[in-house]
């Protein structure tokens, strides 16, 4: 269509909404993403608005619908920037007056194609990569590919309905500020839970509703109060883990879904190499896995491969307290990209949140029985099952120093006075030993053991 014909069409339409039309030449001048969530009204809606500068005119583009289900696109045409901005602001203000909340996104999954390409470089680490033949050992390539695929599956599981962009919320990548808004609301919920003996749905429904207003999630066509209410500390912990995944995906950028294995490996900031099966260390580690299996777990671990590991971003190991010991640490394969690219961190717990399973407070937990740690690597305690048949045990050199033995659960935020670590002793409260340290530099990761769990007959 010639430009003068377009002007005539635009003039006749004014700012009346019409069906969205795909065009090639336009710039995105402004963009806003809004979310509305109300469990009582069974409402879970989004609204995306953009201001475009086109060839000889301006356009206000909108997309809206039920999150993760349906959407519709409209456009409004204006001949001047002033008129276009007034219309943009009027539409935005109208939605905010109806209870919609703006959602800060580093990268969007909704709106025009060009808007989806926009990236806040202060939030998202993006790097262009060329696909080249990998220089890594084949087994390392397979390991890297597996843990990233597991992370993608887990992120998709956490944000239901988000099938195309598996490292973000359904609306897109949330900024750190938006993620922290979610954490603040979780803290408010935890304060309520800690004050009451019995929590009813209505006690936390308003804040839970507020949480999903700020942290979008696709719930499908029907929403129930039971699905929405965050009423236990374990549920708060689950949401904290989701927010950590979102934050990790921001930090790791497009590497999370890029197929270039060498770039993914580089992002892990670790030296990983296969350990030869004919070495003494390999045989010792296999013996450690096999001989430390517990009869209570009803599973045998078959060692498939072992990798040596040296992390570049971990704090310098401080073994000055002495009494070092090789111990197992179990974690989901999906967590490994985040752990290896940084290190095993102290849990980012909210004030007053006590999580079942962390019997001795927010420390870093280890075990001297392989099957104990394997339970955490294989989703034994809930969550989405691993995509692959094999999982991974981390083996750390841990400086335990003077150990405080505990026979029953006792909450510590640091090692007790005069001690360097805590040991939960097998007995009345525990079926298996647990070792807990409260400083991140009190251990260093040494090995990664790939294993396949096989149920005992």
Residue ranges of domains in the chain: 3-117, 138-255, 268-455
pLDDT at site 106: 87
Averaged over successive runs of 10 residues, the pLDDT of the chain (457 residues) comes to 43 68 93 96 96 95 92 94 95 97 91 82 55 88 94 68 52 90 94 88 96 93 94 86 82 69 92 98 98 86 97 96 97 90 77 60 93 84 71 98 91 91 82 92 98 84
| Cα distance between residue 347 and residue 350, in whole Å | 9
Phi, psi for 17 (deg, rounded to 5): -70, 140
Structure token pair of residue 430: 């525990």
**CA distance from start to end of the chain:** 73
Which of 33, 220, 18 is CA-nearest to residue 116? 33
CATH code of the region 268-455: 3.90.228.10
Domain 138-255, CATH homologous superfamily name and number: Poly(ADP-ribose) polymerase, regulatory domain (1.20.142.10)
Residues in a beta bridge with 44 = 37
CA distance to 38, 200, 205, 212, per residue, from 225 (Å)? 10, 11, 7, 12
**CA 196 from centroid of its chain's CA atoms:** 30
pLDDT at site 11: 42
pLDDT at site 50: 96
pLDDT at site 298: 79
pLDDT at site 158: 60
pLDDT at site 242: 84
**pLDDT tens string 369-427:** 999 999 889 865 445 567 899 999 999 999 999 999 998 888 788 999 999 999 998 77
CB 266 within 8 A of CB 338: no
pLDDT at site 5: 45
């Amino acid at each position: 269509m010639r430009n003068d014909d377009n002007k005539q069409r635009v003039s006749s339409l004014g700012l009346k909404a019409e069906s969205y039309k795909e065009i090639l030449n336009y710039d995105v001048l402004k963009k806003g993403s809004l979310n509305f969530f109300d469990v009582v009204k069974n409402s879970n809606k989004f609204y995306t608005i953009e201001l475009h500068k086109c060839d000889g005119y301006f356009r206000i583009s909108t997309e809206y619908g039920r999150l993760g289900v349906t959407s519709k696109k409209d456009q409004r045409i204006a001949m001047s920037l002033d008129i276009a901005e007034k219309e943009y602001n009027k539409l935005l203000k109208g939605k905010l007056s109806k209870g919609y909340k703006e959602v800060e996104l580093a990268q969007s999954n909704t709106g025009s194609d060009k808007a989806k390409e926009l990236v806040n470089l202060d939030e998202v680490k993006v790097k262009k990569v060329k696909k080249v033949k990998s220089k890594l050992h084949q087994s390392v390539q397979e390991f890297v590919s597996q843990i990233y695929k597991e992370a993608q599956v887990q992120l998709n599981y956490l944000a239901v309905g988000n099938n195309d962009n598996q490292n973000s919320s359904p609306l897109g990548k949330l900024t750190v500020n938006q993620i922290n808004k979610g954490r603040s609301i979780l803290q408010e919920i935890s304060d309520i839970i800690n004050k009451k003996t019995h929590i009813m749905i209505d006690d936390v429904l308003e804040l839970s509703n507020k949480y999903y207003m700020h942290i979008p999630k696709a719930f499908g066509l029907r929403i129930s109060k039971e699905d929405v209410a965050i009423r236990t500390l374990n549920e708060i912990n689950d949401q904290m883990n989701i927010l950590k995944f979102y934050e990790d995906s921001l930090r790791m950028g497009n590497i999370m879904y890029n197929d270039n294995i060498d770039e993914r490996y580089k992002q892990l900031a670790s030296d990983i190499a296969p350990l030869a099966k004919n070495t003494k260390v390999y045989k010792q580690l296999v013996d450690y896995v096999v001989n430390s299996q517990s009869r209570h777990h009803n599973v045998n671990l078959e060692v498939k491969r072992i990798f040596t590991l040296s992390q570049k971003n971990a704090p310098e190991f401080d073994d000055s307290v002495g009494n070092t010991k090789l111990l197992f640490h179990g974690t989901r394969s999906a967590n490994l990209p985040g752990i290896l690219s940084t290190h095993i961190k102290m849990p980012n717990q909210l004030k007053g949140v006590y999580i079942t399973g962390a019997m001795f407070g927010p420390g870093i937990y280890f075990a001297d029985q392989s099957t104990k740690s394997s339970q955490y690597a294989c989703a034994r305690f809930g969550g989405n099952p691993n995509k692959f048949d094999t999982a991974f045990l981390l083996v750390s050199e841990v400086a335990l120093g003077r150990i405080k033995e505990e026979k029953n659960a006792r909450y510590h935020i640091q090692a007790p006075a005069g001690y360097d670590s805590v040991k939960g002793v097998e007995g009345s409260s525990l079926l298996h030993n647990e070792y807990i340290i409260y400083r991140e530099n009190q251990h260093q990761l040494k090995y990664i053991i790939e294993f396949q769990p096989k149920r005992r007959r």
